[in-house]
Structure 1
Amino acid sequence: MTQPPKSHGRLSISASLTPRDLMAERPALKGAWRAKIVTLFPQAFPGVLGQSLTGKALDQGLWALETIDLRPYGEGKHRNVDDTPAGGGAGMVLRADVVHRALSDAQEGTVPDRGDWPVVYLSPRGAPFTQATAKRWAGAQGITMLCGRFEGVDQRVLDHHQVEEVSLGDFVLTGGEIAAQAMIDATVRLIPGVLGNEASTEEESHSNGLLEHPQYTRPASWMGRAIPDVLMSGHHGEIAKWRHEMSQALTRARRPDLWAAFKSRQND
């Protein structure tokens, strides 16, 4: 018997600045977490987010993705979105009036509470993105992300919209699109139902402030290297103890900053 095509509870990526009555938009499931991305390169999405478990969850409507093309908000015949830095200097800066129009449209369907709907600018000068950030964002209704280009964004529009600046790491990318995809991936996988096994997220690196323990699988012996005996013992208490000890040892050796924070929390 031929199964009818699924037509409800599905999700597609939609673009802004297109009249609503002309949009072939499929709704996400009610209450689904939504990411709105303001970018000069909407074609970069969903990118890797459309693959594997995040892509499957996207198709199932467990979360939603909307790209907002910044270019149509630009000024003049050529839709200019940037101008030279005030005070001189190299490069170009995204204009406050252009970004304001895009962020104002992005507010449609969101809530004003920044705790429940963060508005984020992907910036190398921002606060470091961490697992705790991902968990906080996953608990919100959604997020709006501004992907920067060139030398940055006029500070006035960031202040006006109470934009949170977040950094993927201590390095500089050509734009915020890669950082946005990485942060969304880390956030979406914490949404219930996306991974299927909720316990798996509790044992991963950074979830408890420590790096994850080493992992092994078949074959039991490979290239003269055997799986540690404790993992083959079936003694769950000893296995848990070994994994915790290994997590502590790895964190102490590789991330002294995380280790110091972990020990501080223990002392408190």
Structure 2
Amino acid sequence: MTFHIITIFPEIIRPYFSKGVIGMGREKGLFDLKIYNLREFTTDKHRKVDDTPYGGGPGMVMKVEPIFNCIQAIKDSLAKKEKSLVILTSARGKVFNQKKAKKLVDKYQHLIFICGRYEGVDQRVAEFVADKEFSIGKYVLSGGELAALVMTDVCARLIEGVLGNEESLISESYNQEEFDYPVYTKPEQFKNWLVPKVLLGGNHGEIKKWRDKHRVQKN
């Protein structure tokens, strides 16, 4: 799996993929990451990626040409048999979730993320360039980089070997019909806050009953 992220701020993306299980997964070669500076795909001397909106209105709109040029360059570099999907991060897109992530990881070898900025992206990108529009929630971000990072993180965790303990993936909250149970660690007592006694006794049957009882149903 290769994640391709198109942005005008590459420096936002790089640090995230250098730490934690995601960073280790990349170092092991379990997935690849390619970051593209959108300004490198402009055709004017000022490397302009945005312009004023037709019909008037506040702010600037990201231009279709450099985005199209970048996507075309990426697709031209891919092997013909490899499947790719172009995703536009968008507040009006369908909300991304664990099931969608699993389908993407199972079906595609390349996920290409377009990170929007300013007042939005020229509508022709959504209509003619992107395959899907995804949102990570019903709120507005300053840019699509955070959304792209969230989605790549969710997908990367589903790649075999990225998580050190595969049981962690199986038991994670959004892979089940319920959220996970509460967890505790040392110390046994902090201030007047105690760990439930049943978790200290070593009776695995009782512990399982307690955990099942305290799982929270999904909305």
Post-superposition Cα deviations, 1:79-103, rounded to whole Å, max 9, x if no partner, equal 2112211222111111222211111
* CA RMSD of superposed structures (Å): 2.0
Partner of 2:86: 119
Report the number of matched residues.
217
Equivalence map 1:2-13=2 (5 Å): none
Matched, 1:55 2:23: yes
Give SS of 2:175's match.
coil
Does the CA-based 8 Å contact 1:110-1:117 persist in structure 2?
no
User: In 1, distance between residues paired with 2:55 and 2:80?
Assistant: 36
Post-superposition Cα deviations, 1:210-249, rounded to whole Å, max 9, x if no partner, equal 222111112222223322122223333332232222123x
Partner of 1:89: 57
Matched-pair identity in %: 38
User: In 2, distance between residues paired with 1:110 and 1:170?
Assistant: 36
Matched, 1:137 2:104: yes
Give SS of 1:231's match.
helix
Does the CA-based 8 Å contact 1:75-1:81 persist in structure 2?
no
The answer to which structure, 1 or 2, has the higher relative contact order (CA under 8 A, 6+ apart) is 2
TM-score, normalization by structure 1: 0.74
User: In 2, distance between residues paired with 1:91 and 1:210?
Assistant: 43
Equivalence map 1:1-268=2 (5 Å): 33-107=1-75, 108-109=77-78, 116-139=83-106, 140-248=108-216, 251=217, 258-259=218-219
Rate the CA distance shift 1:209–1:47 in 2: closer, same or farther, 3 A: farther
Q: Which runs of 5+ in 1 are unaligned?
A: 1-32, 252-257, 260-268
Does the CA-based 8 Å contact 2:88-2:130 persist in structure 1?
no
Does the CA-based 8 Å contact 2:31-2:156 persist in structure 1?
yes
Q: Which runs of 5+ in 2 are unaligned?
A: none
User: In 2, distance between residues paired with 1:207 and 1:183?
Assistant: 16
